[in-house]
C-alpha cells in the first residue's frame, strides 16, 4: 500500500524538535545550568476557582442519573449562546457558533470546506499549522526550505509594511489565513487594516480564516478583538477561537468557530451548512466536561478570571519587552499579546537563538521557523511563571 503523497509533502516538524535538540545538547554539556524557556506557547498557570469548579461540577454530575450526558455533537446550546453574548455582543445565532476541541483541530478540518483546488494565501511569518490542512488534502505541494509549500501564496508582514500583507499578491477566490493578535509577531491589526482586509475579501471573492485565539490579550480599546467588529465581515470571514490561552485550557481542549449564515459559496450555497456537514461527518463534539468549564468561564466571575489570567501573562510580556528595549533591541508585540517579536538586524534567527541559549541560558523561538519573513527575528513567549520570567530578564539585562 502506498503512502498518501500529500502527507509526504508535509514538512517534518523541524522547528520545535530542532529547538529541543539544541537545548538538550546544551543542558547535557552544562548539567548545572538552569535553562529557562521563553520558547513555547503553552500555558503554565493553574486554573482559577470558578472555571475549575465548572469542570469539577460536571465531572461529579456525570456519576448521577440526572447529570449524565452522552454525545453532544453540536455543542451545548447554552455555551454557544454564551459565546455569542460574551464575545460578539450577542449578534450571532447559536447555530452560527460551532464548539470544537480547539483551534488547531478546526484549522485542520476547515480546508475540507473548499478542497484541493482553492488558492491559499497565508501571512508570513505565521503559525506553521495554517497551511498543513491545505497541504494534507493537496491544495499545496512540496515544502521548499526557505520558501514554504509550493502553490501557497506567502504574504510577508514586516515592520516596514506595518505588518500588513500586500494584498495585490492574493488571487481572487483565495482562502486567506490571518491571525491577529498575531503568532509569532504579537502584532494586532488596526481597525483600518481589518477594514481594508474585509473590503478586499468581499470584492475578490476571498474567504478569510481569521484566527483570534489571542483576542483576550488585547487591552487597547481601539483595537478590534474580532473580525466581526468590521462591517461586511459576515459575508467573507470565518473566525477561529479558543479557550486555550484565555482560560488556560490548552490541556482541557475547547474552542469554537464562527461561521455566519451570511457566508456563501459562489452560487449562494451556505458555508454554515457545509461546515455543519463536515463537523457532523468527522467530529463527535468537545468533551462535556470541557464544555461545562467553558460555560463557567463565561460567567461574570469566570470572565474576571480570564482577565486575571491574561493579565498575569501580559505582566510577563511587559517585563520581557522592557528588558529587551532597555538593551536597545527593537520589538513589537507584548502589549496586547503574549508574544514579543524582537529584531536582530544582520543576524540569522538561529544565530541569535544560539547566543541566547549559550550566553543567557534562555530558550526562544527562531523567527525563521515561522516563515522566510521571520529571518533575523526571535520570538519571546510570555507564557511562564513570574519567577522564571523575572530571572530570565535579570540575565538578559546583564
Give residues 311-350 in contact with a second copy (rule: CB under 8 A): none
One residue of 132, 216, 239, 375 binding a second copy per CB under 8 A: 132
**Per-residue b or e along 226-242, where b marks 16 or more CB atoms closer than 10 Å to that residue's CB:** bbbebebbbebbbbbbb
Say how many C-beta atoms besides its own lie within 10 A of residue 250's C-beta.
16
Distance of CA 78 to the CA centre of its chain: 25
Question: Which of 19, 36, 112, 215 is close enough to bind a second copy by CB under 8 A?
Answer: 112
Question: Closest CB to a second copy among 161 and 269?
Answer: 269
Which residues, 235 to 274, sit near a second copy by CB under 8 A?
248, 250-253, 265-266, 269, 274
- Among residues 39, 75, 82, 102, the one that binds a second copy under rule CB under 8 A: 102
- Cα 76 from Cα 335, distance rounded (Å): 34
Site for a second copy in 9-38 (CB under 8 A): 10, 12-13
Quick one: DSSP state of residue 384?
S
DSSP string, 139-177: SS--EETTTEETTEEEEE--GGGTT---GGGSPTT-EEE
Contact window for a second copy (CB under 8 A) among 85-93, 159-167, 278-286, 342-350: 278-286
Spatial distance between the Cα atoms of 382 and 16, rounded to a whole number of angstroms:
17
| Residue 36 CA from chain centroid, whole number | 23
Question: Based on CB atoms, which residue is closest to a second copy, 47 or 356?
Answer: 47
In this structure, the dihedral spanned by the alpha carbons of residues 105, 157, 338 and 200, taken in order and rounded to 10 degrees, is -60
- Looking up cell 454557544 gives 80
Closer to a second copy by CB, 105 or 303: give it.
Answer: 105
Please give the residues from 281 up to 310 whose contact with a second copy meets the rule CB under 8 A. Answer: 281-290, 293
* Interface with a second copy, residue 72, by CB under 8 A: yes
Site mask for a second copy (CB under 8 A), range 138-177, x = bound: x----------------------------------x-x--
Among 19, 38, 43, 208, binds a second copy (CB under 8 A): 43
Integer Cα distance of 295 and 299 in angstroms: 7
Candidates 18, 26, 44, 354; binder of a second copy (CB under 8 A) is: 44
Amino acid at each position: 500500500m502506498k503512502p498518501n503523497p500529500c502527507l509526504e509533502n508535509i514538512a517534518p516538524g523541524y522547528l520545535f524538535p530542532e529547538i529541543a535538540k539544541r537545548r538538550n545538547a546544551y543542558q547535557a554539556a552544562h548539567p548545572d545550568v538552569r535553562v529557562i524557556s521563553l520558547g513555547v506557547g503553552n500555558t503554565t498557570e493553574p486554573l482559577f476557582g470558578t472555571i475549575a469548579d465548572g469542570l469539577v461540577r460536571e465531572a461529579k454530575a456525570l456519576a448521577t442519573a440526572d447529570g449524565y450526558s452522552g454525545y453532544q455533537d453540536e455543542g451545548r446550546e447554552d455555551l454557544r449562546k454564551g459565546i455569542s453574548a460574551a464575545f460578539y455582543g450577542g449578534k450571532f445565532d447559536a447555530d452560527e457558533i460551532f464548539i470544537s476541541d480547539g483551534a488547531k483541530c478546526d484549522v485542520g478540518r476547515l480546508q475540507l470546506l473548499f478542497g484541493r483546488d482553492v488558492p491559499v494565501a497565508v501571512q508570513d511569518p505565521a503559525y506553521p499549522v495554517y497551511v498543513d490542512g491545505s497541504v494534507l488534502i493537496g491544495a499545496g505541494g512540496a515544502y521548499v526550505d526557505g520558501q514554504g509549500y509550493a502553490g501557497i501564496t506567502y504574504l510577508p508582514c514586516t515592520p516596514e509594511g506595518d505588518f500588513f500583507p500586500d494584498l495585490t499578491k492574493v488571487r481572487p477566490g483565495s482562502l486567506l489565513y490571518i491571525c491577529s493578535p498575531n503568532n509569532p509577531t504579537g502584532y494586532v491589526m488596526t481597525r483600518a487594516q481589518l477594514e481594508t482586509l474585509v473590503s478586499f475579501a468581499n470584492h475578490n471573492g476571498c474567504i478569510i480564516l481569521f484566527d483570534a485565539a489571542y483576542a483576550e490579550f488585547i487591552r487597547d480599546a481601539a483595537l478590534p478583538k474580532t473580525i466581526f467588529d468590521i462591517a461586511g465581515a459576515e459575508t467573507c470571514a470565518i473566525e477561529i477561537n479558543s479557550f486555550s490561552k484565555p482560560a488556560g485550557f490548552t490541556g482541557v481542549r475547547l474552542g469554537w468557530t464562527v461561521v455566519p449564515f451570511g457566508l456563501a459559496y459562489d452560487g449562494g450555497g451556505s458555508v454554515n451548512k457545509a461546515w455543519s456537514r463536515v463537523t457532523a461527518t468527522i467530529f463527535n463534539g468537545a468533551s462535556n466536561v470541557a464544555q461545562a468549564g467553558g460555560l463557567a468561564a463565561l460567567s461574570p466571575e469566570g470572565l474576571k478570571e480570564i482577565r486575571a489570567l491574561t493579565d498575569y501573562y501580559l505582566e510577563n510580556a511587559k517585563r520581557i519587552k522592557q528588558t529587551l528595549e532597555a538593551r536597545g533591541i527593537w520589538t513589537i508585540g507584548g502589549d496586547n499579546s503574549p508574544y514579543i517579536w524582537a529584531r536582530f538586524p544582520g543576524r540569522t534567527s538561529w544565530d541569535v537563538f544560539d547566543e541566547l541559549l549559550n550566553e543567557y541560558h534562555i530558550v526562544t523561538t527562531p523567527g525563521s521557523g515561522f516563515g522566510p519573513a521571520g529571518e533575523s527575528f526571535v520570538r519571546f513567549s510570555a507564557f511562564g511563571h513570574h519567577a522564571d520570567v523575572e530571572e530570565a530578564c535579570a540575565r538578559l539585562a546583564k
